[in-house]
Structure 1
């Protein structure tokens, strides 16, 4: 592969640890974003020192399941307002797990418990290029990241999302978006995308097997491992799965 297609510099990723805190919160707003997603706002005095420094942070949402066992799922803090002691989480409504069932029936005044984030991996904003990809589980993180990018930023986005749940992204950056309908299509689009020149990072989040293929494809294209952060947000047939593959 020609050297000019390999990033000239690997941007530094800052790792920040946070004290683990378990917080009791209450539902104050519910917004249906699409047929498959709802944004739920949680409020509580315990959020006075809530911190989320990275768009791919995750909190642990906890509730007691119908069988008496605790349900624990990871969610991206989509928006947080420290002064108002509020945090927004986006829930997929089409699943059959306890968290999805809870979200479908949620109403203002419902109580919940969230823990974390335990840490943040801060990807710099000042890069020559950004590559963001994933399935529907990555929509909150990608949406937040695009909102954060400065006007001079350039980003390529590849998302595997049902047509009914696709959304308009609010961003000041110059963005090229590819919506796809299958794992195979996502991998083909990624294979066809040329690596950009300069300093940049690829970020991905989604189902474990697909993200493992994404990780290998980026390596095969010549992207240094340090220039990618790929996470398995979930795994087919496994509950409460979250794993970094890079």
Structure 2
């Protein structure tokens, strides 16, 4: 039997660990996770959030004969009251041998379906996870961290990118140098993270500042130290038609930047790196995970 690159895995909550005021780690277990295919890093997955009554509408997502695209079309055709929210997350730690995965949630109240689910989750709760299947012959994709031979890195993002950033940093070779900037809601949200000696990690507590201001300032400061280019500027207003997600196919230079988080902040930072600092756009991966004031489009 052939397998699709992405499969839907039945899981249940095995453990819940509060990491900080804003972060909760939920460990999911399930027999099918032995086939979960990923090396971690910034591997994207989809979570199918139960409806208010705890149900999940059957659109064939557990039918191994259907591709994700096929059942996803059925999902899109459902009436709102039957359409389970689907949200994108990144794996914090996969352990196929143990049939477990860790997913870290940045909690922001109960208005959003994923944060609401994580806030109220209990051991034993079911959750469907759409992720790469190791049995598939075709690669699933979903990993954008592709530094090539680069040995100097800039990694920047907000709390939604923190799980991916932590996984990436822990994978860096010891000879890597660079800067890691993570904007989080409070000082208490700085998570333990082991990095190579040549990589500086800075957790930026937002406090009362607007989202993205501290991250932008930190990246501009990195730019000043790197080259004496432009000083800190006001955060540019994003172009509504601007590309919000772009990753290079191959990096040929020794420098690589990975930016992820709120789309307006991330696109403005990418413009700064390219236009002001002269960094080759082919050496920059940037991902607008979400946009201020808008719900994620599933």
The TM-score with structure 2 as length reference comes to: 0.70
Corresponding residue for 2:293? 237
Alpha-carbon contact 2:40-2:92 (below 8 Å) kept: no
CA distance in 1, matches of 2:103, 2:202: 24
Alpha-carbon contact 1:53-1:122 (below 8 Å) kept: no
Q: Cα gap change, 1:108/1:50 in structure 2, threshold over 3 Å: closer, same or farther? A: same
CA distance in 1, matches of 2:148, 2:17: 29
**Which of 97, 120, 132 is equivalent to 1:83?**
97
Q: Residue 68 of structure 1: CA displacement? A: 4.0
Secondary structure in structure 1 of the residue aligned to 2:196:
coil
CA distance in 1, matches of 2:91, 2:296: 17
Q: Which moved more, 1:103-112 or 1:167-176?
A: 167-176
Q: Which moved more, 1:154-163 or 1:19-28?
A: 154-163
Corresponding residue for 1:74? 88
CA distance in 1, matches of 2:40, 2:15: 23
Alpha-carbon contact 1:235-1:241 (below 8 Å) kept: no
Alpha-carbon contact 1:155-1:173 (below 8 Å) kept: no
Looking at CA atoms only, which structure, 1 or 2, has the larger radius of gyration? 2
Secondary structure in structure 2 of the residue aligned to 1:116:
strand
Corresponding residue for 2:144? 121
1:206 aligns with 2:235: no
CA distance in 2, matches of 1:44, 1:191: 44
**Which of 192, 209, 213 is equivalent to 2:221?**
192
CA RMSD in angstroms, aligned pairs only:
2.0
Secondary structure in structure 1 of the residue aligned to 2:49:
strand
CA distance in 2, matches of 1:78, 1:155: 22
Q: Cα gap change, 1:224/1:124 in structure 2, threshold over 3 Å: closer, same or farther? A: closer
Q: Residue 173 of structure 1: CA displacement? A: 4.2
1:177 aligns with 2:212: no
Instruction: Give CA deviations for 1:87-108 in whole Å, capped at 9, x if unaligned.
Output: 1000122232111111111111
Secondary structure in structure 1 of the residue aligned to 2:6:
coil
Q: Residue 144 of structure 1: CA displacement? A: 0.5
Corresponding residue for 2:71? none
Alpha-carbon contact 2:21-2:188 (below 8 Å) kept: yes
CA distance in 2, matches of 1:76, 1:64: 19
The TM-score with structure 1 as length reference comes to: 0.83
Q: Which moved more, 1:56-65 or 1:115-124?
A: 115-124
1 or 2, which has the higher strand percentage?
Answer: 1
CA distance in 2, matches of 1:237, 1:36: 19
CA distance in 1, matches of 2:259, 2:98: 31
Q: Residue 126 of structure 1: CA displacement? A: 5.0
Q: Residue 128 of structure 1: CA displacement? A: 2.0
Instruction: Give CA deviations for 1:66-85 in whole Å, capped at 9, x if unaligned.
Output: 25431111111110111111
CA distance in 2, matches of 1:124, 1:223: 14
**Which of 160, 185, 188 is equivalent to 1:137?**
160
CA distance in 2, matches of 1:54, 1:89: 11
Instruction: Give CA deviations for 1:132-169 in whole Å, capped at 9, x if unaligned.
Output: 00111111011111111122211201121122212221
Q: Any unmatched runs of 5+ in structure 1?
A: 1-17
CA distance in 2, matches of 1:217, 1:121: 21
Q: How many residues align?
A: 224
CA distance in 1, matches of 2:147, 2:271: 23
**Which of 110, 113, 128 is equivalent to 2:125?**
110
